[in-house]
Structure 1
Amino acid sequence: MAVLTDFLLLAAKVSGYIVYALLQWVKKPTEKSIRNEICLITGAASPAGLGKLLALEFAQRGATLVLWDTDTEGNEKVAREVRNLGAKTYTYTCDVSRREEVYSMADDVRKDVGDVTILVNNAGVVPGKPFLQDSDEALERTMRMNCHAHFWTVKAFLPQMIKQNHGHIVTIAGSFGLFATGCLEGYCASKFAVVGFHEALSHELKAKRISDVKTTLVCPYFTDGDVFHDCRTRKEPKTLLSPLNPDCFVKTVMQGILQNQHMLCVPRGMYLAAILKNFLPWDAQVIIQKLLGMDKQKQHLLNEAFSLSTHTWHTRVTCLWLLNCRWKFSSRLVFTDRLVRICVKQP
């Protein structure tokens, strides 16, 4: 009888949470204030990247910014823009894939600025070649940057958040942390890993009743300006699959953070895709990828030495293969590789 009672109570609570979640879609929740919060963003130096745009959004709301990146010059440029909005801003040159460097910089931040209360893990890289052609070192670097770096930053800043029962950890993952595609094995593995880490961490905080340390997982589709923006799928469903506008996207992400949203998929169609992936047979998933042209996706960076961050420039490059996809009336996806020279200043 006790088991039946527990089951009925569980069913009632689950139903209640489902109804509550649905209501959040139609009713805008209250947004919290982040004035005077200390926000650390990794991978902040890209001129048009998510890190920079988030820094500007946080600055407009009165937060103190701490910007980490390997690109010292780019980081300072972003910091100047942030300071123009009146926000206190501190920059540090840090490779978050290096554990000891993260811990050392974290100590410096605590001494110079104070305890970080909002951590945005945004930095990441994409391997430069298909799996079997990529070097072991490049694959290891992908895992260190896209996954292990989250271990080190969270270990560095979470204890103080727990002590104060106040904080927020934001994980910028990606749609390839929810479902995979060919030719991106290393990247997908790293993103699946960080999604698992984030979810496990969220469960642990709940189990320990640390109620005011919030977590937000962000899983976006491609955005204009990142390294995937030219890897387009079929032309017909363009309204559903076109790359996201970075400015609109970052406002959506910021809204999710301020509302303490646990998971944020952008566009919302990504929620449906993630659900279907877990229900549909494997062969059904394969034909859907073929229909959308995803089975033909091609990694277009030259090699690991020219790797770009998904969210920031970690290595300056002089040339980049861009993938131009077009759908012909013969229902055959044709790819044309074009070499485009991007003039950048050498480091």
Structure 2
Amino acid sequence: MEKGLISTFFDIIQSLATAVVVLVYIIYSYFEAFWRLLRPKPAKSLAGEIILVTGSGNGIGREICLQLANSGAKIVCWDIHKGNNDALVKSLRKLGAFAYGYMVDVSDRSTVECFADKVRKEVGEVTIIINNAGVAPCQEFLKCNPQLVEHVFKVNVLSHFWILQEFLPNMIECSKGHVVTMCSFAGLKATRNMVPYNGSKAAIHGYLESLKSEIRHHPKKPDIKFTTVYPSAVNTRLFKGLCCRFRFPYFTPVLEPEYVARHLLNGLKREIEYVYCPPHIPLYLFLENLIPNKARGAVTDFLMPLFEPISTTSNKSQLDSHCTSSSL
């Protein structure tokens, strides 16, 4: 009995000591975050890195590769569309970049495994992964084709698993690497008619938080960085054929791929964990949490954009002036 009391007492003391350490660390982190607002972390050089970019043939992926052209890194371009990807690689080489193009269906695990081996043999071990490939169907949930739903999750989520399982072990072994992931504002705040897409982006956010925790507790304590990007609507081919209606365009603006790519690469070079485009997204999420649950739906309907397939709109000519090709 006495031993049990002593053991309980020491457990309480240990818990209190741990709580104090955590509190001190939180305070330190606040000061560090404030300091970084005043003096951002210097941008690291990417020279000599081997950077894998998925979905490189179009949109944001293409812009990422073009903005990496003068970085001194080897750029590995994966895309399912061979023509677009080959044209990109040709452009990159004209700019003096070390570029390698592969036609890869990232949704297929065996294909990812095959081309991962090919990259290791022909280029070297990938040191930076930019998971950017994605699809975004727009349809009412009950009308979604089951095969389409599976395809969305294979491309948007499972492809990340297959790619990371191929390249992460070497990063852990070398204690060096950086995983950059294109998520979405839609992974934090949902919109209707986009259930599979929103679900896939929420899954990305969730698996990354879990993976980071595993890496943090790994016995080797590898120095692997993570950057996750949360853009709002982006003017890409991903959402062609959609009507995107905004009540407040300045609140959730349609961003250009160049803008998102620039902020993503800034996050990569400065090792920023979360990159939001536009930057006021965290403020919106914070303020939303102050609103009673019952009222959140009304606030969402008031502020957030509405995505609809153009073919379902009742008066297409009237809506055209409000429609934008975009990716959320």
Range into which the TM-score falls when normalised by the shorter chain: 0.7 to 0.9
1:242 to 253, 257, 269: 253
Determine whether 1:260 maps to 2:260. no
Partner residue of 1:30?
42
Deviation at residue 244 of structure 1 after TM alignment: 1.6
Deviation at residue 24 of structure 1 after TM alignment: 1.7
1:208-255 Cα deviation digits (max 9, x unpaired) = 253421111111111223545851311xx3333221233233212111
Greater helix share, 1 or 2? Answer: 2
1:300 to 288, 309, 314: 309
For 2:61 and 2:290, locate their aligned partners in 1 and report how far apart those are by CA, in whole Å: 34
Partner residue of 2:120?
110
Q: Structure 2 vs 1, CA of residues 238 and 213 (structure 1 numbering), >3 Å: closer, same or farther?
A: same
Query: After superposition, where does 1:263-342 map in structure 2 within 5 Å?
Result: 263-292=274-303, 294=305, 297-300=306-309, 336=319
Deviation at residue 322 of structure 1 after TM alignment: 9.3
Deviation at residue 269 of structure 1 after TM alignment: 1.0
Q: Amino acid of the residue matched to residue 9 of structure 1?
A: V
Query: After superposition, where does 1:1-347 map in structure 2 within 5 Å?
Result: 1-46=13-58, 49-208=59-218, 210-228=221-239, 231-234=244-247, 237-292=248-303, 294=305, 297-300=306-309, 336=319
TM-score by length of 2: 0.87
Q: Amino acid of the residue matched to residue 243 of structure 1?
A: V
Partner residue of 1:309?
none
Check the 8 A contact 2:55/2:134 in 1, yes or no.
yes
For 1:136 and 1:337, locate their aligned partners in 2 and report how far apart those are by CA, in whole Å: 30
Structure 2 gaps of 5+ residues are 1-12
1:249-307 Cα deviation digits (max 9, x unpaired) = 3212111110111111111111123334445332222111122254xx233276xxxxx
User: Secondary structure of the residue that 2:181 maps to in structure 1?
Assistant: strand
Q: Amino acid of the residue matched to residue 299 of structure 1?
A: E
Q: Amino acid of the residue matched to residue 86 of structure 1?
A: G
Q: Structure 2 vs 1, CA of residues 128 and 52 (structure 1 numbering), >3 Å: closer, same or farther?
A: same
Q: How many residues align?
A: 308
Q: Amino acid of the residue matched to residue 271 of structure 2?
A: N
Two-structure CA RMSD over aligned residues (Å): 2.5
1:3-37 Cα deviation digits (max 9, x unpaired) = 33322221111121122123222322111111011
User: Secondary structure of the residue that 1:298 maps to in structure 2?
Assistant: strand
Check the 8 A contact 1:34/1:63 in 2, yes or no.
yes
Check the 8 A contact 1:129/1:301 in 2, yes or no.
no
Q: Report the identity percentage.
A: 31
For 1:335 and 1:68, locate their aligned partners in 2 and report how far apart those are by CA, in whole Å: 39
